[in-house]
Homo-oligomer: A and B are copies of this chain.
Amino acid sequence: MRDDDNLRGQGTPTINDVAALAGVSKKTVSRFINKSPLMSDATRAKVEQAIQQLGYVPNPQARALALRRNFMIAMLHDNPNGQTVLNFQKGVLSAIKDTELALAVRPVDRTSPGLLADIESFLTKQRPLGVLILPPISERDDIFDLCKRLDIAYIRVGSAALDDPAHCVASNDREVVQELTAALLAKGLKRIGFVRGPEGFRSPIERENGFRDAFANNGVALDASLMAQGNYRFDSGLAAGRELLDREDRPGAIFASNDEMASGVLHAAYSLGLAVPGDLEVVGFDDTATASHVWPTLTTVHWPIEEMGRLAATKLVSEFLGDWTHDCDLAQVVVPSYIVERASAKL
């Protein structure tokens, strides 16, 4: 029995030091750390006092080994937009600020055939308490099957409810796009171009559906020739803009499914000598930094990614921290987007 080696005072204090000082067993200290209710107040006080005095902090690696689980949550993403990732991260961190949890950010490559193996390796090695999965990979069912199999909690983040409320946080893209489009229609603009996002993902579909909803609701016919394909990147917005604008019956407004493509549309307009606004109104989606840096500043939809991060992390963590609800409604799924009116289109 050399457990008291640590009492020599060198290095950081361990549970043994606390136990010795408090005059209890280490299991009792462990109980205190884990907020066990099975303790007398007197013992609790003694242990707390000893912990204070020693400045003891439990060793996460040792806990991880014993619990087969790291006190860490992970963010899985394959998102080319740095600002989106960072804003989400900000929300997550604000939610876990007062906990002992760590955050690991894991970018993955959705085009890689080894994607799933890569994620599995990461999860089995790191053993996080749970994972937060950002779009677009949040739409892949195989990743959730994997999480279930490995018994790792998860939250999917997307542009529409992708799972049951306990496992999902979503924005209301369809609804807000409908609203914004309706505002354009209400101004008398009947010919509105639309630049789609990439095929195979959910958010472009939601946004397009919202666009179509507005036309349907207002009984306005939608000209299919004004629907252009994009892929969320600048160049595709530029190309789509040229396609839509370089013709006799060009639209009076263009809705691009994200801000990056909207800036591409602006470039297309300028290169054709069109004034925005004036000859053309342009709206985007996301409200990234780009939206307020282009000229004219972009009327767009604020996608509440930071709020979504906070809610997602809160949901995930509440499973482990019990009553810790962070004044936040855990049943909430949808974080509402809202319209931001700037110079490129007046509503």
Contacts and interface: CB of A to CB of B under 8 A. Distances in A.
A174 interface: no
A340 to B, nearest CB: 15
A242 interface: no
Interface in A223-257: 234
21 contacts: A57-B124, A59-B65, A60-B126, A61-B65, A61-B127, A64-B64, A81-B82, A82-B82, A82-B83, A90-B107, A102-B125, A103-B106, A104-B104, A234-B289, A234-B292, A260-B289, A263-B293, A263-B294, A264-B293, A266-B295, A270-B295
Nearest to A235: B292
Contact of A107 (B59, B89, B292): B89
Interface residues of A, number: 46
Given A289-B290, A294-B294, A86 B89 contact: no
Interface string A121-148: 1101111000000000000000000000
A85 to B, nearest CB: 6
Interface of A: 12, 57, 59-62, 64-65, 68, 70, 81-87, 89-90, 93, 100, 102-107, 121-122, 124-127, 234, 260, 263-264, 266-267, 270, 289-290, 292-295
A121 B104 CA distance: 16
A127 B11 CA distance: 14
From DSSP, what is the main secondary structure of chain A's interface residues?
Answer: helix
Contacts of A93: 107
Given A57-B125, A60-B126, A234 B102 contact: no
A104 B103 contact: yes
A223 B87 CA distance: 40
Contacts of A294: 263, 293-295
A231 to B, nearest CB: 15
Given A93-B107, A267-B295, 12 more contacts: A59-B65, A60-B125, A61-B70, A61-B127, A62-B65, A82-B84, A89-B105, A102-B104, A103-B106, A263-B294, A290-B290, A294-B294
A85 B81 CA distance: 11
A106 B84 CA distance: 16
Closest 10 CB pairs of A and B: A82-B82, A82-B86, A82-B83, A61-B64, A105-B105, A263-B293, A61-B65, A104-B104, A65-B65, A60-B125
Centre residue among A64, A234, A293, A294 by max chain B CB count within 10 A: A293
Nearest to A62: B65
